[in-house]
Structure 1
Amino acid sequence: MSAQLFVVATPIGHLDDMTFRAIEILKSVALVAAEDTRQSAQLFKYYNIATPLTACHDHNESNKIDQLIQRLKSGENIALISDAGTPLISDPGFKLVRAAQENQIRVVPVPGACAAIAALSAVGLPSDRFSFEGFLPSKSSQRLLQLEKLKDETQTLIFYEAPHRILDCVTDMMHIFGEDRPVGFAREITKTFETIKKMTLKELVSFIQNDHHQQKGEIVLIVGGNPVNKDVDQDQLDQLLLRLLQDLSVKAASQLAADLTGIKKKIAYQRALELTQNQES
């Protein structure tokens, strides 16, 4: 019987944000696959974890998979960790987890810190529906194209961004999403210089421009979704869609609602889909 692959979340800054279960698992497994063994060695020293470490990152993951899978098949438990937070969330590990699943090896999540969820919980933007978008393209032209695709999304959007690109990124967001779109700015979460603020994109651009310290560290951006057209009352839209859905498909009802009200079809479609799901639940 093969052993288990544990996907273990580690702190995103404050070393005390480590679960008891995570510590015990890291001490008990035969091997820990880490994104950066030097970074993880500091965590291991803090918690007196003596388990051997092996590097498993973007550049060697494909070559390491066979070796790690064979050790799992031989009965050795292995843990997977990243430099900080939950593995696979904009971090390496997907290929190893996929290979483990394909080889009928049990993959066990060990939950803990995640920068995206930590930021979402504290910035005061809607959290009932959200989309994690990870890192946007580094080139402005490609970033603008991606933001253009997202500008009509009504759910909250979560992004990671590198400090040297943060000003260019939020400036591009302001141009595409509009100056008044609400945004949460979370920097250095759980660390000494933690900064968590909510403002408009225009205000955030100014905030970052006027304080160079805000262009340092780990950054999460939480962008409010595009609201339904303010000229259309939400209750009226819902009543219209509910009536249309009695006789039409979601696609047809949303198209007709968009034609009648002037709102974007994508927004009408998303709301029609939500209403249909609410009726079924």
Structure 2
Amino acid sequence: MPGTLYLIPVPLGPTAPAESLPANVLATIKPLTHFVVEQAKTARAFLKAAGTDTPLQELTLVELNEHTKTNELDLLLAPLRTGHDVGLLSEAGCPAVADPGANLVGLAQKENIRVVPLIGPSSLLLALMASGLNGQRFAFQGYLPAKEADRSKALKELESESRKRQQTQIFIETPYRNRQMFDSILQACQPGTRLAVATDLTLPGESVLTRTIQQWKKQTPPEIERRPSVFLLLA
């Protein structure tokens, strides 16, 4: 019988303790000996804090990230095929959501390998919950274009779609470009459009603020430089 692929959520930042995860998640982690991770160094730090029955140096950790080639994915399923349970970890939050682990889950599903998602923090859902925007209809757009002209065009298209469908548009940015994204939103979107900025969710400096574009232009910009943030729009 093949093993089970467990989708293991991790805290959203280094200052959030592993103990903040549900007890059943920590209990699932303890007996595992095989993991697929985004970065081995940070995964080891998390597993050390979470606690494992097997000494850390004896665990098998294989990386799956943006550098992993498509033809390498098949090899990652090998332990599952031979009966080992495997834990899939992202760098933060839930694996396979805005995360390269989705490709491995897709292959596991094709082979009828059991996939079990575990409960844990999702910055996208937490941001939506706290934004006050439409939680009935929403879409996650991932990363928008990095170039200013392309980003502005994409923002206007998302705003138009939001207005048409009354749909909350959710997107993220590399933390060091957060301020450029914020400034682009203020320039591209209409005064009455609501923008929520959710930063450092579940961490000591957590902030979730929702204002219209017009209101944002009249107040001090949020402190989001190099801090993980989620942006949400509703026209």
TM-score, shorter chain, exceeding 0.5: yes
Correspondence 1:123 to 2:126: no
Give 1:22's aligned residue. Answer: 25
Matches within 5 A, 1:131-210: 131-152=139-160, 153=162, 154-204=166-216, 207=219, 209=221
Matched AA of 1:162:
T
Correspondence 1:218 to 2:228: yes
Cα distance change on mapping 1:59 and 1:88 into 2, 3 Å:
same
Count the aligned residue pairs: 223
Give 1:41's aligned residue. Answer: 44
**More relative contact order, 1 or 2 (CA 8 Å, 6+ apart):** 2
Correspondence 1:10 to 2:10: yes
Matched AA of 2:6:
F
Distance in 2 between the 1:208 and 1:31 partners?
A: 47
Check conservation: 2:26, 2:51, Cα contact below 8 A.
no
Q: Which range is displaced more, 139-148 or 43-52?
A: 43-52
Residue 61 of structure 1: how far off its partner (Å): 5.4
Check conservation: 1:85, 1:114, Cα contact below 8 A.
yes
SS for the counterpart of 1:214 is: coil
Residue 88 of structure 1: how far off its partner (Å): 1.8
Identity %: 26
Correspondence 1:112 to 2:124: no
Bigger radius of gyration among the two: 1
Kindly indicate which of the two structures has a greater share of residues assigned to helix: 1
Check conservation: 2:159, 2:233, Cα contact below 8 A.
no
Out of 89, 94, 98, the residue aligned to residue 81 of structure 1 is: 89
**Cα RMSD for the two superposed structures:** 2.0
Q: TM-score, normalised by structure 2?
A: 0.86
CA deviations 1:141-175 (Å, max 9, x no partner) are: 22122223212222111111223322222232233
SS for the counterpart of 1:215 is: coil
